[in-house]
Amino acid sequence: MKNEFSHLTAKERDKISFPARLLEERGLLKGRILDFGCGYGRDVEVLQSKGYQIEGYDKHYAPTYPQGKFDTVICLYVLNVLHLEEQTKVLIEISKLLQPLGKAFFAVRRDLTYQGYRTHKIHQKPTYQCNVILPYQSVFLNDSCEIYAYTPINQLSRSSDMECIFCNPTPQMELIAESASVFAIYDKFPVNQGHALIIPKRHVDNYFELTLREQTAINFMLNEVKQEIQEKLNPAGFNVGINVGKVAGQSINHVHIHLIPRYEGDVEDPFGGVRGVIPSKRKY
């Protein structure tokens, strides 16, 4: 579900926004910076005038999609006007735009007393707002605003009491994308070029013990990663597989979905596909 009038909540400011000013004052705006969902772009203009290397992206007001990677991404008062699926899409996009050692900052409103659609006073269109809570470090909170800092999961400090490699991904695991509850990396021992793993953050060994919401989040990420690999490598097909239990070949007791790109001629005869897990049953 999409909020087609979400852009109508953008404000024409005559000065820098409060979250952008706070991040600047704390010295958190570093390197190449992107304002994701910049609206009319006032924060970008002010910070550029101060010498910051910043550019803005907004699919309605500054629709040229950013190229390359950024050291800092700010996303201010964007998530509150989006439905959950759109919020997840934004989190994934920002994770893909960050440098491996980069940080993103999300500002969300904390003064909403009513969630849902209402008629915009100026535009007279149905605009939507909701409260948002993120599983990231909170670096500022008052009655009207909260700011979260996102660090890519493979750059976080490792937990010494957790041996699971998917609960403690290392910087050597190349991150493809991340959302609030799921991340994707390239397989360390790929079957084919672009072999990816889609992994829930919660430690669960059996796919069927995930909540429906977690399964939905995994499938959302699966589709996003498939599109990423399709654009980058242009495979002719894919295999999608989940091993559940030792007898099915599961070697790591943390749910993960294999997304394996397939290319013309990568095997002599691909007939049967995943049926080949039992070789004698591959052909029928």
Instruction: Please check whether residue 3 is in contact with residue 81, taking contact to mean a CB–CB distance below 8 angstroms.
Output: yes
* 87, two tokens: 């919020």
> What span, in angstroms and rounded, lies between the C-alpha atoms of 34 and 36?
6
Q: In degrees rounded to 5, what are phi and psi of residue 265? A: 80, 5
- Token pair 């889609």 in the structure block, residue: 198
Letter string b/e over residues 96-125, b meaning 16 or more CB atoms within 10 A of that residue's CB: bbbeeebbbbbbbbeeeeeeeeeeeeeeee
**Entry field: residues in the chain:** 284
> What span, in angstroms and rounded, lies between the C-alpha atoms of 23 and 105?
9
* 259, two tokens: 């997304």
Given the DSSP bridges, would you call strands 257-262 and 237-242 parallel, antiparallel or unpaired?
antiparallel
Q: In degrees rounded to 5, what are phi and psi of residue 107? A: -105, 130
* 226, two tokens: 């498939």
Is residue 123 among the annotated active site residues?
A: no
Out of 123, 203, 256, 258, pick the active-site residue. Answer: 256
Of the candidates 148, 126, 127, the residue with the CA atom closest to the CA atom of residue 22: 148
Of the candidates 183, 215, 186, the residue with the CA atom closest to the CA atom of residue 201: 183
What is the set of active-site residues? 256
